[in-house]
Each structure stands twice: as structure tokens, then as C-alpha cells.
Amino acid sequence: MGGEQINKKQSTGKITSGIKSRTFQLAIINFIYQQLPIWRDDSDRPDEQSEDKLNLQLCKFIDSCAREYFPMVRFDHEEYQTGQRRVDISASPAKSTHFGAKLYTIYDPILVLEGKRLPAPSSDREKEYATGTNSKKISGGIQRFKLGLHGAKHNLAVIIGYLQNHSARFWQKKINGWMSELVSNPIGDGCIWTTDETLQAFKANTSNYIYRYHSIHNRTGKIVDDKIELHHLWVTM
């Protein structure tokens, strides 16, 4: 898509046992963020619009790149979460590793990611990046993390945004507006929304059309922490 060149061969270096899990999580997030425009512009990538197909494509690409440039992590498509729910992508250590005092095996995701199209594919799903509109059908990206249906074992997670129309600034304002409405008009799903749960600009590479936002949310359910930190990685398609 033009713009400043990002070096695909930039390695994250070797991360050794004993580091804090957050350090490793942030390294994974930075790696994914760097790969987004390279994946989008890959001449071998089929031109798809569907969220499910984009998630699968991205997972295959970052896992392939990680084998050479970030070999301490593996990416998997669809990871089971609470009950039968699945998150779109997970990142796990390539071999058993201690992060802080906790041992993570190859079966233990250290980071989970959800992918969302912007805009949603239909008007009745318009707000799905943040929330569904039916309290009996929990379909929102942020909503699922708040309810502990996704990422219950994590206090940091990622939402990938595939921007198929409008600007990043447009979507930041739109999503923050939806969450503001939920503070005074919740849908009865158990989510408690507050005015400080807004997406804050964190980083942007406008020449490569990638953007990064940050938010912190209260949550309920069987969770490891009563708050979750979300990193929003967006790429203009």
C-alpha cells in the first residue's frame, strides 16, 4: 500500500527464561504490529473481505514469519476459551518457558487476539467491535473480554482491527461514542461500562496505514484480574 518500508527481517532477538510475562506479551504485540502492513501487501495473499478468512490469513502469516524472526513464539488459529467459545488467534511459547514464577508450556497461550472488521458486515452488527446489541447473544469484541468469556486467564489482550472503510480517527471516535452510550444505557448483559474505558491513541505509522490504540476495562466473571488492558492494532486494508 506504499509508504515507508518496514523491515520484515527485523528480529526481536532471543528472550530467555525468567523474564516477566508482560515483557514477552509486549514483544509479541510489537512483532504483530510490525507485520501487519507486510501481511496486507503480500502479493501472494488472496484478496479477502471476510473476518474469518482475514484472521486465518493473518495467523498463517505471522506464524510463518515468527519461525524465522521470532522463533520463541508460535501462533495458532482459534483457541478455546470459556466453555465452547474461541478466540481468533493465540500466541504460545515455542517451548516450555518460565515467565516470572509461572511455567508456560506449548499448550498455554500467553496472549490471545480477537479480530474485527471495521465496518461490521451488516448494520445490525454495527457496534460489534465494542458490543453486541442482544444481551443473550454476546458478540462484541471488547464485551467478551469484559465478561471474561475471552482472555479470562490474561490481564492483557489484543484486538486486531481490519479497516475496510473510513479512517482510524473516525473509528476511534465512533467506538468511544458507542462505549459512552453504554455507560448510561447498558444492554443487560452484565457489563458495567465507565467513562474512562476509552481508546487512547498510542502509536501510528501513517505512511504504512497502521495504528495502535490502548484501553483498560473493568470486567466480571471467573477472571484472573478485575481489569484487562487491551491493545488495539489496526491496519487499513
Per-residue pLDDT of the chain (237 residues; tens, 9 = 90+): 655 445 655 556 555 556 899 999 999 999 999 999 999 999 999 999 999 999 999 999 999 999 999 999 999 999 999 888 999 999 999 999 999 889 999 999 999 999 999 999 999 999 999 999 999 899 999 999 999 999 999 999 999 999 999 999 999 999 999 999 999 999 999 999 999 999 999 999 999 999 999 999 999 988 999 999 999 999 999
The secondary structure of residue 137, as a DSSP letter, is B
The secondary structure of residue 43, as a DSSP letter, is T
For residue 231, give the H/E element and its range: strand 227-236
The secondary structure of residue 74, as a DSSP letter, is E
Q: How remote is the C-alpha of 22 from its chain's centroid?
A: 15
Beta pairing partners, 232: 159, 213
Per the listing, cell 504485540 goes with 29
Q: Where are the beta strands (DSSP E) in 105-226?
A: 111-118, 156-163, 200-205, 210-218
Per the listing, cell 497461550 goes with 109
Q: What is the grid cell recorded at 149?
A: 468469556
* 3-state SS assignment for residue 125: helix
Query: Which residue from 87, 62, 81 is spatially nearest to 73, judged by alpha carbons?
Result: 62
Strands 156-163 and 111-118, by their bridges, are parallel
CB 89 within 8 A of CB 59: yes
